[in-house]
Structure 1
Amino acid sequence: MSDELILYTNPMSRGRIARWMLEEVGVPYRREVLTFGGTMKGADYLRLNPMGKVPTLVHGDSIVTECPAICAYLADAFPQAGLAPPQRERADYYRWLFFAAGPLEAAVSNRALGFQVPEDRRVMIGYGSYAEVVETLENALTDRSYIAGSSFTAADVYVGSHLMWGMQFGSIDKRPAFEAYVRHLHDRPAHLRATELDDADMKELQAG
Structure 2
Amino acid sequence: MADTIIFYTNPMSRGQIARWMLEEVGAPYEQVLLDYGTTMKAPEYLAINPMGKVPAIVHDGRVVTECAAICAYLADAFPDAGLAPPINDRADYYRWLFFGAGPVEAAVTNRAMDWDVPADKQMMAGYGSFDATMDGLEAALTGKSWMCGAQFTATDVYVGAQIDWGLAFGSMPSRPAFADYVARLRERPAYQRQKAIDDALIAEAQGKKDGPSPG
TM over 0.5: yes
Which SS does the other structure have where 1:124 is aligned?
A: coil
The equivalent of 2:116 in structure 1 is: 116
SS at match of 2:149: coil
Query: Which AA in structure 2 matches 1:120?
Result: D
Q: Deviations over 1:130-186 (max 9, x none)?
A: 010000111111121100121100000011100010111111000000001111111
**Mapped partners of 1:176, 1:3: distance in 2:** 40
Tell me which residue corresponds to 2:81.
Answer: 81
**How high is the TM-score relative to the length of structure 2?**
0.95
Q: Is 1:150 equivalent to 2:150 in the alignment?
A: yes
Aligned match of 1:170: 170
Unaligned ranges ≥5, structure 2: 209-215
Partner SS, residue 146 of structure 2 = coil
The residue type paired with residue 48 of structure 1 is I
Tell me whether 1:134 sits opposite 2:159 in the alignment: no
Deviations 1:37-59 (A, max 9, x none): 01100110000000000000110
The amino acid across from 2:102 in the alignment is: G
**Inter-partner Cα distance in structure 2 for 1:6 and 1:199:** 20
Amino acid of the structure 1 residue aligned with 2:157: V
Give the percent of matched residue pairs that are identical in Structure 1 and Structure 2.
60
Range 149-158 or range 68-77, more displaced: 149-158
Measure the CA separation in 1 of the matches of 2:135 and 2:42.
41
Question: Which has the higher Rg, Structure 1 or Structure 2?
Answer: 2
**CA offset digits 1:80-123 (Å, max 9, x no partner):** 10000000000000000000000001001000100100000001
- Alpha-carbon contact 1:144-1:181 (below 8 Å) kept: no
- Residues of 2 paired with 1:103 and 1:74: CA distance? 23
The size of the alignment, in residue pairs, is: 208
Work out whether 1:97 is the aligned partner of 2:97: yes
Cα drift, residue 187 of structure 1: 1.4
Report the equivalent of 1:160: 160
Query: Which consecutive aligned stretches of 4+ in structure 1 deviate over 2 angstroms post-superposition?
Result: 1-4
Amino acid of the structure 2 residue aligned with 1:107: A
How many angstroms does 1:204 deviate by?
2.0
Question: Root-mean-square deviation (CA), in Å?
Answer: 1.0
Aligned equivalents of 1:65, 1:72: Cα separation in 2: 11
Structure 1 length-normalised TM: 0.98
**Matching residue of 1:189:** 189
Structure 1 partner of 2:212: none
Compute the displacement of 1:3 (Å).
3.2
2:145·2:181 contact (CA, 8 Å) conserved in 1? Answer: yes
In the other structure, the counterpart of 2:9 is 9
Is structure 2 residue 58 aligned with structure 1 residue 58?
Answer: yes
